[in-house]
């Protein structure tokens, strides 16, 4: 159930994203309180890129018996708003005004439950491998769009999963070039 969005779609979907809806979302407590962007990385199996497994995971149909590393994912209900693959292609799983399930147990500036007020962006990759030029370019475009759209966002509120769940998460990892991303943003 994947389709390219026409330009007249509601603003809760990015028009240049491939819309692939996930069942793993719910309503935000306050949809106007979007004030954080959380950057993650994912690959399934780890370090292997280009397959359908991430999409399958976010859609709740990953065959957990197809790879030994997937057994721990059995029954997991997880999603992100957006996914950027190695070529910079953008996929959207959850509308921006809805709560995607990407952050887990988390806290930012003393506020818990980051899923309530954040947009989750997954980059195809690992915590210990560099990301591609195409990914940085697309991520900067997406973040610039989000900064323009949500008045409570700023460059200082674009963080990694490791920043909101230290000790539990390490993504997007040491290879992620924060200065490169932030220098591409004008706000």
Which residues belong to the active site? 122
Of 87, 88, 59, the residue nearest 73 (C-alpha): 59
Q: How far apart are CA 163 and CA 94, in angstroms?
A: 22
Question: How far are the Cα atoms of 40, 104, 161 from residue 123, in angstroms, in the given order?
Answer: 6, 17, 12
Q: DSSP code of 19?
A: E
Q: How far apart are CA 76 and CA 78, in angstroms?
A: 6
Whole-angstrom Cα Rg for the chain: 15
């Amino acid at each position: 159930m994947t389709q390219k969005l026409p330009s007249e779609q509601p603003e809760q979907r990015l028009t240049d994203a491939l819309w692939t809806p996930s069942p793993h979302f719910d309503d935000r407590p306050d949809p106007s309180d979007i004030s954080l962007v959380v950057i993650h990385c994912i690959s399934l199996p780890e370090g292997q890129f280009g397959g359908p497994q991430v999409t399958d995971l976010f859609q709740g149909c990953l065959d957990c018996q197809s790879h030994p590393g997937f057994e721990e994912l059995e029954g997991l209900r997880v999603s992100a708003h957006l996914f950027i693959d190695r070529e910079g292609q953008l996929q959207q799983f959850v509308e921006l005004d809805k709560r995607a399930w990407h952050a887990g147990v988390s806290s930012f500036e003393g506020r818990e439950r980051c899923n309530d007020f954040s947009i989750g962006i997954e980059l195809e990759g690992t915590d210990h491998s560099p990301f591609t030029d195409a990914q940085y370019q697309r991520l900067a475009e997406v973040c610039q769009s989000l900064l323009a759209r949500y008045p409570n966002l700023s460059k200082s509120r674009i963080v990694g999963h490791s920043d909101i769940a230290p000790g539990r998460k390490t993504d997007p990892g040491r290879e992620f070039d924060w200065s490169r991303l932030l220098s591409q943003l004008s706000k």
